[in-house]
Structure 1
């Protein structure tokens, strides 16, 4: 598994995902309790993103819009 700065790359990607959530989407940040955050850090980026999409959909929010807010998905041209 590739590593950067001593941490597995997938963990760093999940950390960046959580940082994006915390800084850009207050609703979604409030939905993720500490246990869920720890779980997301243990998952691959793709798995963590899938879980986050499930939370977004369960909350009745538009997944594409939320991912655009997080800077993960480019807005449609």
Structure 2
């Protein structure tokens, strides 16, 4: 296995997040009290992405506010 980084497809990321929002690490449904707790879910999503091999990066703040910081597939990802 290579350590090379590659961009993920929005659909792959969406499937991974959808799974994490519904299931625990053993594939069992998450308890409703966990799903309704935003702090738990934020930490849970971070752990899930780490276990799934994702590396999340953030672009630096633009010096030119008129320029969009969203990538070419951003609007498409929101529509999925």
TM-score w.r.t. the length of structure 1 is: 0.39
Which structure would you say has the larger Rg?
Answer: 2
In terms of fraction of residues, the more helix-rich structure is: 1
In terms of fraction of residues, the more strand-rich structure is: 1
TM-score w.r.t. the length of structure 2 is: 0.38
